[in-house]
Every structure is written in structure tokens, then in C-alpha cells.
Structure 1
Amino acid sequence: MEGSIYQFDGRSRSMAARSGAPVAVVHPRVPPALRDVPLVGVIRNPRSHRNKGHLPELDGQPNILTASPPTRSELARVLSGFAERGIDLLAVDGGDGTVRDVLTCGAAAFGDHWPRLIVLPKGKTNALAVDLGLPNHWALSDALIAAVDGHLVERRPILVEQADGQGVPVLGYVFGAGIFTTATQDGQTAHKLGAFNSFAVALTAVAGVFQALFGLGASPWRTATGMRIYDAADGSEVPHSGHGRRDQRYAMAFSTLKRFPAGLNPFGRPRPGIRYALLDAPLRRVVALVPGLLMGWDRPAFQKLGVHRGAVDEALVDLDGSFILDGEAFPAGRYRLRLGPKIQFVAP
């Protein structure tokens, strides 16, 4: 993707405003309790892995408003309409990428006043669903029962915006760069081979460790990427071990999720804010530790090897290469990461 951080049919937010596309911000009142028959807006991605060949759930019910917007600009318009109607629940029928698009396109419509969200995990990757403890086959009817019973989990997404204030901010739950980008691309290969969700994560991790240990020369699994990472609170740079160039890192990941697919725990112990995990350089003794690091191993000596974990409320990152947010690649640049709105998700 070239140009601004996020585009609607190739147009930035300012261009959309000049063209007359609706960009009005709607901040509806969030009802303290669901209506007896809640009004439910459903954003369904018909291209999601487990939606192909299936009809929408509860389609035709008078309180169920189902839409499958073909473009991001149309998605923004649909979500604005849902906000104006005062929906009680917003269901996202798709994978992590669909959730990212709904959060990003709905930010102008809902602001800090989001309805309760339902995630129907139908994508090839469903990390958010794992974090929320959702069953693999969670039906909309099951979610509506859980919503009435008040089973809610709060998760704040990461808001990613260009540091110069241009473009449209994006919201998502897993941000990564460096070898994270390579792993995501290899994960797409795993999907083509029929591996999805936790199995795809495990397969990609094993293949990546093998290639990083035994790859030669210019192997993408042994390449560091230019990046600088700062705590925006005081402007200090996140420590670097000195292994490799100080303006490069091997891997970077940020997230606000607490649980991950395949039982992984790459960010270590719980911390408030946006947690991060960094690897400075592809030292083979560090790569050999990756399986344990992914499961949460932590030792004081790891930092001297270039393994860093921590958390920030806000970060600035300079990237020479692309980054990944919930499965989609975005261009190199200077970005600010901060906590997004508080969103309540319906959980079992």
C-alpha cells in the first residue's frame, strides 16, 4: 500500500471530504442496558474463510441489520447509518482483518461511544477471538444470549497514526515489523496449504526458526530492518543491546491482547498499556530460544542478548520497512501508537 496510512478506495480522509463523501462524526448515546429485543448491526465479510458458501445468520429478522459492504468507503457509510439508528450490538462476521476494518472505518461514527461488539470468528486468523475465549464455531444466536446475560470483556485496540498527522488512523490489536512481516507472509503460504488459526501459527513459527537458524546470507529470515522505537511519554529510546546496528532491529511486536493462538505468550508477564516484544539481532543463540520466548520464557540475561519486553502508553516508531497490523501490510514511515477507545466485547 502506498500513500497515506489508510485509504478508502484510494482516497485519504481529506480527499474524501473534498469529494463530498460523508465524514460526519456521530456520537450516539450508549444505552445503559440492552433493549428487550436488541437492535443488531452485522458487518459480514462474505470472503472470510468460513463464510464462503454460507448464508448470513438470522438474516431477515426485523432486529438484525446485515450488510456486506464491498469497499471501505461503503463500510464507513454503513457504520455511520448503524450509529444513527442507535444499534445496541455490532457483530463482526469475519476474521481479524475484518475487525480491523470495522474499528478503523467506524471510528468517525462511534468515537468513544461504541456499542457492544460481537466477534464471529470466521477468518483464517482469529487472534482476537482466542483472546476473548470464543469457541471456534460461535453462532450469532449464541452470542445474543451471552449479550443478554451480560458476559463482557473490555479490550482497547492500538490506534496507529502517521506522526505528521496526515492520512487516516487505523485501529487493530497486533502490530509488528521486521521478521514479523516475513512471518505474516509465510503464514499466508500456510493458509494456502490448508493450515489455519493456531495450527498455521505453530507451523509458521517452526518453519521460521528452522530457516533463521540454518538460512544463509540474504535469507529474509535472517535480515534486520531499520527501525527506531521511542517511549512517547519522555522521548527516550527503547534500550538496544548493541548486537547489530543500533538503528536496526530483527523483530518488533506490539499488542493489547492478553492471550494468543496456540498457547503462545510472546509478551511475557501481564503489563498495563501496550505491551511490546523486541529482538535486536538474529543471533543464532537467540533464534534457538525463540520457541521458549514465544511461550513466555523470561530471564534477566535475555536483555543482554537483545531480547526486550515492556509496555508503553504511547510510542513513536520510525520504520524503514513495512509493518503489519492484524494481517495487512502498511508502508514504511514514522508512526505514533497509542491506546484506542475502550470497547466491550460479548464473550461466552
Structure 2
Amino acid sequence: MKKGIGVIVNPFSRQNKRNPDRINKLAYIVGSSGTIAATKSLTELEEVAHEFKDRGIEILALSGGDGTNHITITKFIEVYGDTPLPKIALLRGGTMNTIADSIGIKGDSNQILFNIVEKYHNNIPFKTVKRNVMNIDGRYGFLFANGVAFNFLKEYYSGGTPTPAKAATILTKAVLSALRGGDFARWLFKKFRAQIFVDGEKWPYNEYFMIAAATIDNLGFGFNPFVKVFEKENCFDIVGVIGEAVDVALSLPAIRMGLPLNEKKFIDAAAEEVIFEAEEPMKYTIDGDIYESGERMIMKVGPKLELIVS
């Protein structure tokens, strides 16, 4: 007997707020094949996670962007414990859909869910991929970054609607400012001091512009620095940026093309556990959501999830 599809909708995501009727459309599409829940708080999300676990749903579909997915997956991992999560469908319902893009998910929320319901109802196999998440101080996500990336996202989210054009404008501004030693580049590329231990071995630097880590091969905005992410099973790729601001700015085109990193400007490794010991509290992002921790933070490889591509 089929256990059904469980759909989680974040009513506060930018895309869903701009399309308030989307919830009704998704409910119509899923019909009797599952249940849809618009969760407005972490408490409601936890209640729905327990309900879905008790029912034994076979597919968990998420309507929101990267941040919604990260928060929902974190809560479901907490609730499910040692029980494996169901297959996960990312419905591309947010401003940033980096994770969905990285594994090749196409279409809008309605199209994606319709395809899933049709295949589920007719017992047609799904095309899926498996990806680990990272456990970052008890939160789970596919993509971590601090330093330059944290500052970039603050600029990206400030003053107006985030768009690809706005991201391109910020990148151009960063390169031009770095070339002339401007204030914007000094702020954006401000270094932080930390000792970083990768699988027990200390990296040989104490200052970085940025640390980024991922279990996907895309940082977002077209950048592909994670060339070691599939080097071995159950790991994540961690990249440290150590060159000068102008060097990093001039490396951006090569990073966008996924070319090997310059060892004089970057250090990277396929890792299972990373310990940060910084000189001040760390500010960072997980799948685009912004956080702050203490001076010490542990990041380790988390469970492997099965994601529906089509």
C-alpha cells in the first residue's frame, strides 16, 4: 500500500508570497496522493515531521528555496533520528535554488510536483541522485561559506529584491574596487583569523578571506570551486581562500568555469570533519541562511539523502 507524498510549503518564501495561490495549486496537483502542509513556525514544522514519520510517507516535497530546504531537512533529521528520510523532491520555490540547480532539477514548482505525482501514481521509477548533507553545529545543509561569501550575501539581500542582475552588479563592483584598492573591496574581502583542522591535520595558514564547503559542486551565481566534492564517498569539499583581494577577484572567471584552483591563492581538501578555532565569533551562511556561532565550530559529514531529479 502506498504511504503517499508529503508536501511542505514555506508561505513566507519570496516566491510563495508573490504567488499566494501556489499552495492551492500544489494541493490540487497532489490530490489524494498525499498531504500538503504550510508551516509557519518551527513548532508547526516539527509537528508535521512527526506526522509524516508516523505515516511513513515515501516522498518529502519541499516548496521553498535553499533556506527553506535546509531548515526543513534539519528538522526532519532531528525528528527521524536513525530512521532514513524518504526521497526528497526540491520544488524550486524560492529566490535561490542553488541545490536544485546543482543536481539538474528543471521546471517550476507545479511542473515538478505534477511529474512526481504522475510517476508515483503509475509506479514509474524516478531518476534520483544521492548527496550527503553537512552537519554544521547541529544544522544540516549542502553549502557552507563565511568571509567574502557572507559579506556578499549581506550586500545581495540589502536594499531591493535579489536578482541575478544584482549579483552580477556586485561582482563587477567588487572586481573594479579591488583593482583600485577601494573601500568596497576592503570590506568585502576582509580577512578573518582562525586555525582550521581538516580531518585532524592543521592547515598551514591563519588568515583567510573565506572558507567554503559543500557536498554539491556549485557555490551559486555560476561559481564551481568544489572540484574535490566527489573525490571519495561520504565527504565534503572544503576550500580556503588565501590570496590577496585582487588575486581572488581576478580568479573569479576561472572559478565560474570550474577550472582547478590556483594553489597559491586557494587550499582545498575532501574532508569528513573540520574544526574551526577562530579569534572572534564566526558569521557564516548555510544554504544562503545567515548564522553566527562562537569562536569554535565543528563541521562534519552528515547523512546521505536521496533527491529526486525527475
Name the TM tier (shorter chain). 0.7 to 0.9
1:81-120 matches, within 5 Å, as 81-112=51-82, 113-120=84-91
What is the rounded CA distance, in whole Å, between the counterparts of 1:342 and 1:152 in structure 2? 12
Aligned residue number for residue 207 of structure 1: 173
- Paired residue type of 1:226: R
Q: Cα deviation per residue 1:219-239 (whole Å; 9 max; x = unaligned)? A: 3123111222111x3x21123
The answer to whether structure 1 residue 45 and structure 2 residue 16 are counterparts is no
Which shifted more, 111-120 or 201-210? 201-210
Contact 1:211 1:221 in 2 (8 A): no
The answer to whether structure 1 residue 254 and structure 2 residue 230 are counterparts is no
- Paired residue type of 1:214: R
- Paired residue type of 1:229: I
Unmatched 5+ residue regions in structure 2? none
Deviation at 1:215, TM superposition (A): 4.2
The answer to whether structure 1 residue 331 and structure 2 residue 292 are counterparts is yes
1:13-162 matches, within 5 Å, as 35=1, 37-52=2-17, 53-56=20-23, 57-59=25-27, 61-112=31-82, 113-139=84-110, 140-146=113-119, 148-161=124-137
- Paired residue type of 2:298: R
Distance 1:141 1:45, change over 3 A: same
- Paired residue type of 2:269: G
Contact 2:93 2:109 in 1 (8 A): no
What is the rounded CA distance, in whole Å, between the counterparts of 2:243 and 2:167 in structure 1? 22
Distance 1:142 1:315, change over 3 A: same
Contact 2:217 2:225 in 1 (8 A): no
Tell me the TM-score normalised to structure 2 length.
0.85
Specify which structure has the higher proportion of strand.
Answer: 2
Deviation at 1:171, TM superposition (A): 0.2
Deviation at 1:182, TM superposition (A): 0.6
- Paired residue type of 1:327: G
What is the rounded CA distance, in whole Å, between the counterparts of 2:219 and 2:189 in structure 1? 24
Aligned residue number for residue 15 of structure 1: none
Aligned residue number for residue 251 of structure 2: 289
Deviation at 1:278, TM superposition (A): 1.3
Aligned residue number for residue 182 of structure 2: 216
Aligned residue number for residue 197 of structure 2: 230
- Paired residue type of 1:228: Q
- Paired residue type of 1:141: F
Tell me the TM-score normalised to structure 1 length.
0.76
- Paired residue type of 1:182: N
Q: Give the count of matched residue pairs.
A: 292
Q: Cα deviation per residue 1:259-281 (whole Å; 9 max; x = unaligned)? A: 45454311235423110121124
Specify which structure has the higher proportion of helix.
Answer: 2
| Percentage of identical aligned residues | 23
- Once superposed, what is the RMSD of the aligned Cα atoms? 2.3
Distance 1:223 1:261, change over 3 A: closer
What is the rounded CA distance, in whole Å, between the counterparts of 2:216 and 2:243 in structure 1? 25
Q: Cα deviation per residue 1:90-142 (whole Å; 9 max; x = unaligned)? A: 11010000001111111122234100111100111011110121114142111
Deviation at 1:144, TM superposition (A): 2.8
Unmatched 5+ residue regions in structure 1? 1-34, 162-168, 241-245
The answer to whether structure 1 residue 171 and structure 2 residue 140 are counterparts is yes
Contact 2:132 2:303 in 1 (8 A): yes
